[in-house]
A and B are shown apart, each in its own frame.
Chain A
Amino acid sequence: MANEPDRRRSVMSLAIQACALKVALNGRSVLRGIDLRISAGRWTCVVGPNGAGKSTLLKALAGLLPVTGEVLWQGQSLANLSRQQRALQLSWLGQGESAALDLRVFDVVMLGRLPHQSWLAAPSAHDLAMVEAALKSTQAWAWCDRTLGELSGGERQRVLLARVLAGNAPLMLMDEPLANLDPPHQVDWLEQVLCLRSVSTTVVSVLHEIGMALHADDIVVMREGQVIHHGPAMDAQTHQAIEAVFERRIRIVPLQGQWLVLPRI
């Protein structure tokens, strides 16, 4: 990795830091010793082939898996943070988990405010405002009263995104957030993330769409449970690392100030 990016990273605050992170699932080693430093206020994308351990890495960073090694948020070890504190700092969007077909859209998004509410209290005016804002930003406000079961896959995904946005946490971890989204809404999501970044929210996402991932600030390239490369998305070295990890079946070319992913046939 180049020296300059390193120095840059050490000067800015670290949102997430992983030290010698190892995760074993069902006796099989999935993450083999990962050291990662993700800076605050930047958007980082994790890419890699299937089975590289991307989702596992994200879950480990979110503190949702038992790990060997240490995970630190804003310099504090996860183990020292209470459940409530963790929920206030992190919003998590998982992959294909939900079965909430009978819940109303409004109630689903309100669940994102759960860490901010005291146990038996009714939602406050601020909660209601946040939910409304979140639903409007994903263009789902019209479906307030419908149940999730009545929506299509893409519509459901937008509601779940709104839930994450409503939580308004400084750290957002999203696993395959573009699942089922059509191109216009994928672009919507992109704009939202760029907007979040502008208010210093740290976003870490796992994406299969390399083209979208290249809009991020930093890219983490993974293979077989290890981080192969971690660097800015603009760097040529990052592009080479991505092409290498996908066995050089793709190439990344510039086009009008953005990056295009083309098959190498």
Chain B
Amino acid sequence: MNLRWSALSWSLALLLLGLLGVLGGTAVGSQGVEMWWLGSPDPVVQHIIWDIRLPRSLGAWLGGALLGLAGAVAQGLFRNPLADPYLLGSASGASLGVSLYVSLLGGSVMAVGWLPRLGMTGAAFGGAVLAVMVTLFLARGVQQTVRLLLAGVVVGVVLGALASLVALMSPQVMQAMQGFLLGSTAFIGWSACALMALALGVCLSGSWALSRVLDALTLGESTAQSLGVPLPQARLLLVGFLSLATGAAVAQMGLIAFVGLAAPHAVRSLVRCTHAGLLVLSAWMGAALLLMADVLARSLMAPQEMPVGVLTAILGGAYLLWRMNRIGAGRS
């Protein structure tokens, strides 16, 4: 790709792509692709478009943005190109939250009235946040990156095993977990969109303000410290933004792989910029990726829906494979 657009041009291009995707998403549904803007549809279809397809497409865009941003923050924070948003155990925490929620629901009539109100989203979000807190506790703060990574892996594996254990106890949990693990945008409504938009606003602006910290970190921890960067506080804040973004996305959509991993790589292959640009562009890129995958998932086998996680894995995996090939060819 020899286009040397600036970061700003790419930003606008990706936003435009997102807009087109959202519009396209409203045209795809249980009846296949229908161009509703040609001709006047009946009120039920209008209702479906405005209240189901539009928030769903917008939600896919917002969720993808959250995951893309989280991926860029994770890769910068841990200085590891293989880092993804689920690194600190948030995925397993969310799974455990969901499995506990479904198993408790399935028990005898609950005296605890708040549990149904919490909903699967609340359980997933709570689980993700708790997992990150356990990771931070085990790693005794954010000071040492290797310790943090190790603690994240441990927490992820242990909580994942616990979630499997809970699922084993009752088969209905296993089914619910399967659905959660595959990821879906089908249950996103306007309130979910509002929540994700709020999370995106907070995390994007906060991470952007700390983008210089991430730049300085690329030169090494000692060097970053010597440049006067308030490393402990900045790292804690960045971990906070990372977990908030991941938790918000996972709570609404389940576990969707590869978006957080592939988006920053895709951005870096297009344009060279500091983290200030990388964070924002990763968000727009992740949004466009997930949106396209979602529209494909809904239209490929209409009226059946493919789980969007399967498509992002295929698309993301194919892209990374292509990148690997190019890198290999370039070096030889």
Contacts and interface: CB of A to CB of B under 8 A. Distances in A.
Contact of A83 (B79, B223, B230, B273): B230
A98 interface: yes
B268 interface: yes
B178 interface: no
Contacts of A90: 226
B109 interface: no
Nearest to A101: B218
From A83, A99, A111, A115, name the one whose CB has the most chain B CB atoms within 10 angstroms: A111
Top 7 A-B pairs, shortest CB-CB distance: A97-B220, A87-B228, A92-B226, A100-B218, A114-B227, A115-B228, A94-B222
A97 B228 contact: no
Contacts of A102: 218, 268, 272
Contacts of A108: 219
B212 interface: yes
Interface of B: 79, 209, 212, 215-216, 218-223, 225-230, 268, 272-274
Contacts, number: 72
Given A84-B228, A97-B221, A102-B218, 20 more contacts: A64-B222, A64-B226, A87-B227, A93-B223, A94-B222, A97-B219, A97-B222, A99-B218, A102-B272, A103-B218, A104-B272, A107-B215, A107-B274, A111-B212, A111-B215, A111-B227, A114-B227, A115-B228, A120-B209, A145-B272
Contacts of B229: 83, 114
A59 interface: yes
Given A83-B228, A114-B228, A147-B272, A92 B223 contact: yes
A62 interface: yes
Contacts of A202: none
A96 to B, nearest CB: 9
A14 B125 CA distance: 56
B79 A99 contact: yes
Interface in A42-98: 59, 62, 64, 83-84, 86-88, 90-94, 97-98
B272 A94 contact: no
A86 B321 CA distance: 45
Interface in A103-162: 103-104, 107-108, 111-112, 114-115, 119-120, 145, 147, 160
A103 B212 CA distance: 12
25 contacts: A59-B222, A62-B222, A83-B228, A83-B230, A84-B228, A86-B226, A92-B222, A92-B226, A94-B222, A97-B219, A97-B220, A97-B223, A98-B218, A98-B223, A100-B218, A103-B215, A103-B218, A103-B272, A103-B274, A107-B215, A108-B219, A114-B212, A114-B216, A119-B209, A120-B209
